[in-house]
Amino acid sequence: MSERLLKGIGVSPGIAIGPAVCVRGTLPEVPQRVVARSQVEKEVRRLRAAVRDVKRQIQTLKQRAVDRAGVDEARIFDAQLLMLEDKEFLRGIENLIRENHLAAEKAFEFKALEVRDLWAASPSARLKERLADLNGVTVRVIQHLLDRGADEPEIAQPSILVAREIGPGLTVQFDRDQVIGLLSEEGTRTSHAAILAHSMGMPAVMGLAGALDRIAPGMTLILDGTRGTVLVDPTPAEISDARERAVRRRELEHQLERAVDQPAVTTDGTRVVLRGNVDLPDEIAAARQHGAEGVGLLRTEFLITGHTALPTEDEQAGYFRRVADAFPGHPVVVRTYDLGGDKFPAPFRAPVEPNPFLGWRAIRVCLDEPALFRVQLRAALRAAAGAPIHLMIPLVTRLEEVDRTRELVAEEAERLRQQGIAAAATVPVGVMVETPAAAVMADRMAEVSDFLSVGTNDLTQYTLVVDRGNARLADRFTPHDPAVLRLLKLVANAAQAAGKPASVCGEMASDPVSAFLLLGLGYETLSVAPPALPLIRWLIRQVSIAQARAAAEAALAARSARLAEDIVRFALADAVDLQLLDPDARLPTGRRSATFRP
Ligand code: PEP
Ligand code: MG
């Protein structure tokens, strides 16, 4: 079984069952051809004509994406169009034709490989993600120049497309009755094609290394975009099991759809505030569509990643305003730069450190680089002139970090006033509780700030001493560990005693079982990943605070993470059908309503 079950990254949920259609999508063999000096200008004209034709093809695909996925999603084709409009890039190819007498396709291949190497070596995640666009454009132009037509397979029946790399073009190229699922060796959750597949509701698994070697054309596959798995050559029993799971998931989706406009209120009347986490501008639309009451975590590092210069005050203020405009009347919590750790984007120079997660990161960087920090604070103050913008400081370990940030905010507010620039006189400043130090000091942190928001990703990492990105330790990385739960309870109690709001914005809040536990621990504001909003809203409407509190109390007394999680699942099973919530859920053994002892 395990050899037939392949594991990748689930980037778009849902189950697809069908035969594989394999697309190699690699660069065609480009013959080494030189042209006579007299033919050089003709070759340049051939290149320009091909670029023009391919631009037209991409515009057609973009229109198809508008029809199938929406205007915002279709913008991802702009990256490919921009490449074909990039004067420097095109001049480089023309120079290769003129100076080295290369044929247009060889010159294009050389230049594209040069750019590819440059981007692949860059530390910028964004540039790396654009490699799929570059590859897509290169394959198209070279195929056109070689007069081969696009590498498009014949699809006779509903199939699962398997490719090394899936660009946005391939995602929208086929009709839904031809392609029912996508599988690629490369790609991550934030790849353009993944975002498109998600908006189109097409199940997709990416990042499955070696897929093309293990899957032959025509083989039957069960692709599960929720679990991130692909089962090759399934038995009839496995196929009927997958069909049943697909039906159960659809049932849940129908229930979720019905709840989308309803408030997140528990069965015993507690109103829970549900906000969205926004990492990239693409997520604003999804958060809005799923009814987010503002943004509880606006990550700002992307403003630097993939850019050649640091963002200006105007650019940042414009972005904060744009996000605020999308959620009128609701707060937008701007998390100040969390640079360092694994995030040191290109235009920001940083030293190499032996332990970056224990090093120069987040608020430490900002306070040591006040010029960088002040620009961001000014942008937030300016955007706050017309909208409820809040600031939140990451990786706080000391009270002085909050005090100093407040001083800088006050200084910049005064300077903006003197300069006659429209800006708020101040903004609420919150502490992101994501270190054990901040959690243990939560009572004092609450005194010096306006709100607390728990970053459970880092809080778990630092409390349990488990690198959050280390796959080998993945089973040790759990916010259900009683050590983390005790800190979560401490923070909720401290905020309540100080009369300050407390929320959770780490991934824990996006998981239904954990969200139930968080309610019980005293958190009534949760900020979750936009795609998880409908599920968490629906869950809240099925449970009572009394049930959640009882579960949390028992979980706090558990002696291990596994027992704590079983306790919570067990309690939740009294309110909702866990199999419906997550068809793959691990159910604790024992009768549903029996008392579960830690
Ligand atoms: C966290 O640490 O929980 C968090 C939300 O911040 P990030 O994942 O950006 O570190
Ligand atoms: Mg964090």
| DSSP secondary structure letters along 253-316 | HHHHHHHTTS--B-TTSPBPEEEEEESSTHHHHHHHHTT-SSEEEE--GGGTTT-SSPPPHHHH
Catalytic-residue membership of 192? yes
Distance 365 CA to ligand 1 centre (A): 16
29, part of any domain = no
Note down the domain range covering 262.
248-267+459-598
128: Cβ contacts below 8 Å, ≥ 6 apart = 119, 120, 122
Among candidate residues 144, 198, 290, 505, the one labeled active-site is 505
Same domain, 594 and 485: yes
Q: What share of the chain is helix, strand, coil (3-state, %, to 5)?
A: 50, 15, 35
Distance 585 CA to ligand 1 centre (A): 25
- CATH number reported for the structural domain that contains residue 69 in this entry: 1.10.274.10
87, part of any domain = yes
376, part of any domain = yes
C-alpha to C-alpha distance for 270 and 250, rounded to whole angstroms:
28
Q: Which of 275, 301, 342, 434 to mutate to test the pocket of ligand 1 (most atoms within 8 A of CB)?
A: 434
Same domain, 9 and 133: no
Among candidate residues 22, 144, 192, 198, the one labeled active-site is 192
439, part of any domain = no
How many domains does the structure of the chain reveal?
Answer: 4
131, part of any domain = yes
Atom of ligand 1 nearest to the CA of 434: 2
Counting ligands in written order, which one lies closest to the CA of residue 504?
Answer: 1
Same domain, 261 and 287: no
432, part of any domain = no
437, part of any domain = no
Atom of ligand 1 nearest to the CA of 506: 3
| pLDDT tens-digit profile, the chain (598 residues) | 468 999 988 888 889 999 999 987 666 788 888 888 899 999 999 999 999 999 998 898 888 877 776 676 677 778 788 889 989 999 999 999 999 999 999 999 999 988 888 887 776 656 666 777 788 888 889 988 987 665 566 777 899 999 888 876 667 667 777 889 999 998 766 566 776 787 677 899 998 989 999 999 999 999 999 888 999 999 999 999 999 988 888 888 788 877 788 999 999 999 999 999 988 787 898 899 899 999 999 999 878 765 667 899 999 999 999 999 999 999 999 999 999 876 666 667 677 788 888 999 999 999 999 999 999 999 999 999 999 999 999 999 999 999 999 999 999 999 999 999 999 999 999 999 999 999 999 999 999 999 999 999 999 999 999 987 666 677 798 999 999 999 999 999 999 999 999 999 998 998 899 999 999 999 999 999 887 899 999 999 999 999 999 999 999 999 999 999 999 999 999 888 776 666 454 444 332 322 222 2
